[in-house]
Amino acid sequence: MSIVAEKLTYVYLENSSNSNVAIEDISIEIKQGEFWGIIGHTGSGKSTLVQHMNALMQPTSGKITVDGLDPAEKKNRAAVRRKVGLVFQYPEYQLFEETVLKDIAYGPLNMGYDTQTAYDMAREAMTLVGLNAARFENKSPFELSGGEKRRVAIAGTVAMRPAYLILDEPMAGLDPRGRKSVIDMLEKLRRETGCAIIMVSHSMDDIAACADKVAVLNKGRLVLCSSVDKVFSDTLKLRSMGLDVPQVSLLAEKLNESGIEMHNAIYDIEQMKAFVLERIGSRR
């Protein structure tokens, strides 16, 4: 059970003078329960790639399947969209209902659940994204704060209980505390629902904090694709594409240069903390 892309290519405005190859020759497999980070510069094709996983776009060439279903066939698309939930960038702009509860229940209702079940699913999703159901359910989504709106929008997709949850830059425009709480929320979501999470982000640090696997896109091509520790220890390659390296990896690199040997790459702040404390302790 996985999302499999094989040699996926998409060209915008094909057959026109300003056609634009957005992604090219991308092969990737995303298994159930994994936490992926997708990173790359602006315009590197991240959003284009994830829209293929949700059957919103059909590849120019190549193939993508979700649990064996091919969205190239129209009849599979609804099923694919049930399995794969996609939260767009700035999802708060898609809210439209009178109350938060009704808005979140829109997805489940479209899936054919009756109103009562849909509302229950919506309440459950609110709890999962950290919104107090009793307090928020009857509010209008338009009177919430930006961060709360974002949670409502994410809950709208979570309520559909996808097996794969894709978030396109869920942290865009949030302050550091907001970013941290989104990361915590995603980790909690994965623990409690067991769904795979695919997070598109610009920030290496955010991805280092929560993902197990990373895909790096550069100019529409998949340049790195493996576990976090492998990707983040390849600082040379990341730099050569002009991408940031997580702050913690930078520190590890500096420590290495100054003669403090580190046996394996450390990219996570907690691990680094433990390592530094241990070193200080052993020296005393």
Q: Which residues bind to other proteins, rule: CB under 8 A? A: 51, 54, 56, 78, 81-82, 85-86, 88, 91, 93-96, 106-107, 110-111, 142, 156-157, 160
44 is an interface residue for Mg ion by CB under 5 A = no
Give the single-character DSSP code of 43. T
Residue from 47, 157, 218, 233 that binds ligand ATP (CB under 6 A)? 47
CA–centroid distance for 15 within its chain: 32
Residue from 24, 36, 45, 47 that binds Mg ion (CB under 5 A)? 47
Q: Nearest to residue 9, comparing CAs of 20, 18, 22?
A: 22
Rank residues 45 and 156 by Cβ distance to ligand ATP and give the closer one.
45
Asked if 13 contacts 19 with a C-beta cutoff of 8 angstroms, the reply is yes
> How many angstroms separate the CA atoms of 134 and 112, rounded?
25
Q: Which does 94 bind (CB under 5 to 8 A by kind): Mg ion, ligand ATP, other proteins, none?
A: other proteins
| The two structure tokens encoding residue 145 | 């704060």
User: What is the number of the residue whose Cβ is closest to ligand ATP?
Assistant: 47
* 3 state SS of 105: helix
Q: Which does 48 bind (CB under 5 to 8 A by kind): ligand ATP, other proteins, Mg ion, none?
A: ligand ATP
Can you name the residues that pair with 213 across neighbouring β-strands?
36, 227
Rank residues 28 and 252 by Cβ distance to ligand ATP and give the closer one.
28
The count of other CB atoms within 10 Å of the CB of residue 176 is: 9
Amino acid at 24: E
46 is an interface residue for ligand ATP by CB under 6 A = yes
**Kindly report the CA angle at 24 between 23 and 26, in degrees rounded to 5?**
95
Asked if 208 contacts 232 with a C-beta cutoff of 8 angstroms, the reply is yes
Task: Identify the H or E element spanning 40.
Answer: strand 35-40
> Smallest distance, Å, CB 124 to ligand ATP?
30
Rank residues 47 and 157 by Cβ distance to Mg ion and give the closer one.
47
User: Cα-flanking dihedrals φ and ψ of residue 22, to 5°?
Assistant: -85, -45
The residues in 26-45 that bind ligand ATP, with binding defined as CB under 6 A, are: 40, 42-45
Rank residues 30 and 224 by Cβ distance to other proteins and give the closer one.
30
Q: Nearest to residue 128, comparing CAs of 100, 161, 95?
A: 161
Rank residues 165 and 189 by Cβ distance to other proteins and give the closer one.
165
Asked if 66 contacts 28 with a C-beta cutoff of 8 angstroms, the reply is no
> How many angstroms separate the CA atoms of 33 and 76, rounded?
22
Can you name the residues that pair with 166 across neighbouring β-strands?
86, 198
The residues in 149-168 that bind ligand ATP, with binding defined as CB under 6 A, are: none
Q: Which does 20 bind (CB under 5 to 8 A by kind): other proteins, ligand ATP, Mg ion, none?
A: ligand ATP
> Smallest distance, Å, CB 6 to other proteins?
22
Rank residues 54 and 249 by Cβ distance to other proteins and give the closer one.
54
Rank residues 47 and 193 by Cβ distance to Mg ion and give the closer one.
47
Q: Which does 78 bind (CB under 5 to 8 A by kind): Mg ion, ligand ATP, other proteins, none?
A: other proteins
170 is an interface residue for ligand ATP by CB under 6 A = no
For binding to Mg ion (CB under 5 A), which residues are involved? Answer: 47
**Which residues of the shown chain bind ligand ATP in the complex (CB under 6 A)?**
12-13, 20, 22, 40, 42-48
